[in-house]
Amino acid sequence: MIDQAYLDQLQAKLSELETRMSLPEVSADPKKMQECMREYAHLKVLAQHAGKLLELTNAKTESEAILADSAADAELREMAEMELAEVGEALPRAEREMMVALIPPDPTDSRNVIMEIRAGTGGDEAGIFCGDLYRMYTRYFDVKGWRHKVLDVSPSESGGYKEVSFSVEGENVYKALKHEGGTHRVQRVPQTETQGRVHTSAATVAVLAEAEEVDIEVKTEDLRIDTYRAQGAGGQHVNTTDSAIRITHIPSGVVVQCQDERSQHKNKAAAMKMLRAKLFDDQQRKAAEEQASERKSMVGSGDRSEKIRTYNFPQNRLTDHRINLTLYKLDRVMEGALDEILTALYEHDVEVRIKKQMQS
């Protein structure tokens, strides 16, 4: 129930947090400060929506009281009827906005990401599709004004990539891309097909939220760091120094590598960024598995084994299997027109969370 007491409670909590954030023991601790700022931002949005909803509810009550009063003059009744009509339109929207605001924010939404695209089943065609997906995403990033940088790449001899890893930086990047993880399937006639038959191939996508040092502690003694010479297509060396870096995290067995920079120091920094992101993703995944029922109700787990989307080129059709969305504009999607899909995925996720909230 949204009433004045609830709004006052929110304002009191905001004041408490402001006081807490000014304390030396909090301001000197990045993790505590980050948690306080995140909670403060959430409560502030809640207070704004609660205030708006309360204002509309009070206006509705006042207008209804005037209309129920037989002593009210005609002009006052007419004004009350007009206000009631306006409130009737605005109230459902405000109630939904309040429900959305009540959903606990995902602390990773504002983070940058590291993406990995790997060729799956389908041989040479899978490598070409891997390259097509990379091009599709980077075109979308350019439209959004996000920065992207290749971290590691293994070209395919027939074109495209066996795998490619890259970072993406911008506003709310993880929020937009977090549902892209999984198996992407393509149906089309490969360039190498002489009979004109449609083949099915696949590529897997992983979307990892970047992790800070405060999120994941990586001990030097847990790492094995190897250097090697960067290679290009066909295995030829592309520089003359051992600048490429491979890091193995011994406790988990996670291996990352980076060879895109000519500087060994820069490659090591990029590889450490990839390692932290993978370890953070494992940590988040384990936490989510403890709430398995909630995870299954969401739009998708991000598991690479989950088939999430089919790209059918002969029919210019894209289908997202998680939300039963079909678009007959695959040509535009492959040029980076992803907003319609990503928005539909986000809205579906919000609706699921609202239903879950109403049931609890």
Find residue 119's DSSP bridge partners. 203
Which one is predicted more confidently, 229 or 253? 253
| CA-wise closest residue to 125 among 183, 192, 181, 205 | 192
Contacts of 120 (CB under 8 A, 6+ apart): 126, 183, 201, 202, 203, 204
At residue 148, the pLDDT reads 95
Contact 271, 165 (CB under 8 A): no
- Which phi and psi (to 5°) does residue 184 adopt? -105, 125
Find residue 155's DSSP bridge partners. 161
Q: How many CA atoms lie within 13 A of 144 on its CB side?
A: 22
CA separation for the pair 133, 20 (Å, rounded) = 46
Could you read off the pLDDT of 32-51 as tens digits, one per residue? 888 888 889 889 999 999 99
At residue 230, the pLDDT reads 67
Determine the straight-line distance between the first and last CA of the chain, rounded to whole angstroms: 14
Could you read off the pLDDT of 113-156 as tens digits, one per residue? 999 999 998 888 999 999 999 999 999 999 999 999 999 898 98
* DSSP per position, 229-298: --B-GGG-BSSSS--EEEEEETTTTEEEEE-SSS-HHHHHHHHHHHHHHHHHHHHHHHHHHTTHHHHHHS
Q: What one-character DSSP code corresponds to residue 308?
A: E
Q: Which CATH class is domain 113-351?
A: alpha beta
At residue 265, the pLDDT reads 82
Could you read off the pLDDT of 173-212 as tens digits, one per residue? 999 999 999 999 999 988 766 677 888 999 999 999 988 7
* Amino acid letter for position 143: V
Could you read off the pLDDT of 3-15 as tens digits, one per residue? 788 888 999 999 9
Contact 313, 302 (CB under 8 A): no
Q: Count H helices, E strands: the chain?
A: 10, 11
Domain ranges of the chain: 4-102, 113-351
CA separation for the pair 156, 120 (Å, rounded) = 12
Question: Averaging pLDDT over each range in 70-74, 267-271, 336-340, which range is the top one?
Answer: 336-340
Tokens of 37: 């700022």
Q: In terms of C-beta density within 10 A (0-12 exposed, 13-18 middle, 19 or more buried), how is residue 195 classed? A: exposed
* Angle CA 308–312–317, to nearest 5: 90
